[in-house]
Amino acid sequence: MGFKNFYEEKILSKVITATCGQEEISELRAKVVPLAEGAVFELGCGGGLNQPHYDHGKVTSFAGIDPNNALLDGARARAAAQGWEADIRQGVGEAIPFEDGRFDTVVCTYTLCSVGQTDRVLSEMRRILKPGGRLLFLEHGKSPDPGPAKWQRRIEPVWKRLMGNCHLTRPVGENITGAGFTVEPLGAEYFEKMPRWAGWMEWGVARKAGE
């Protein structure tokens, strides 16, 4: 195992789980994830951090993918602990391994920042949604303010290398709208306990434009 693989599987997975499991982030998950219903697909489900927030009375089936094997182990363990039968696979958002129009809800939290091709991933999520289905998103991204945005541009090249291709400068709502969704914003704010270059959060509901 090379250093890159060792870092991503043994170190980075623990860093991501710890960072994304912070109380402040968990409180935002609790505002978004319980809105999921019907057949649910979660992009970037590794670690299973969203699983405690689902309303199991509204979810009829659950599927998810993540590229990181170490994080998938955590997702499967959490699903098993809840007695939840789940189809959790290794995969990437640019090629979601499920058929067109299968899911009522797609859930995407703290994942769009690190995918390789944002437009392609959003197109895939749009593809697997049923007519009238919803994309629930909670993401960090480009700050709307010039000062933090400047620091995001400066820090991002190093940040991406250390944090599994995590980008700081991706505009969340703009990207989702540009991929053919109509967005209903539910909230946007800076986290008080994070520097502003890392702490801009946006969350909401998106539907296929025209539906």
* pLDDT 10s digits, 80-120: 887 777 899 999 999 999 999 999 999 999 999 999 999 99
Please report the domains of the chain, with CATH numbers, ordered by start residue: 3-208 (3.40.50.150)
Q: Is the pLDDT of residue 74 over 70?
A: yes
Query: Between 197 and 69, whose confidence is greater?
Result: 197
Q: How many helices (H) and strands (E) does the chain have?
A: 7, 7
0.75 exceeded by the pTM? yes
Residue partners of 82: CB distance under 8 A and separation at least 6: 51, 56
Question: What distance in Å separates the CA atoms of residue 142 and residue 128, rounded to the nearest whole number?
Answer: 27
Band of residue 3 on the pLDDT scale cut at 50, 70, 90: low
CB atoms within 10 A of CB 178: 12
Tell me the longest C-alpha to C-alpha distance in the chain.
48
Reported as a single tens digit per residue, the pLDDT across 8-61 is 655 666 666 666 667 788 999 999 999 999 999 999 998 888 999 999 899 999
- 3-class DSSP state of 182: strand
- 3-class DSSP state of 61: strand
Give the per-residue pLDDT at 141. Answer: 96
Question: What distance in Å separates the CA atoms of residue 36 and residue 21, rounded to the nearest whole number?
Answer: 20
Name the percent of the chain in helix, strand, coil, to the closest 5: 40, 25, 35
Are 201 and 140 in contact, with CB atoms under 8 Å apart?
Answer: yes
Instruction: Please state which of the ranges 14-18, 135-139, 169-173 shows the lowest mean pLDDT.
Output: 14-18
Residue 66: name the closest of 111, 1, 119 by CA. Answer: 111
Residue 24: name the closest of 205, 199, 204 by CA. Answer: 199
Give the per-residue pLDDT at 10. Answer: 59
Give the per-residue pLDDT at 164. Answer: 84
Are 179 and 209 in contact, with CB atoms under 8 Å apart?
Answer: no
Are 29 and 138 in contact, with CB atoms under 8 Å apart?
Answer: yes
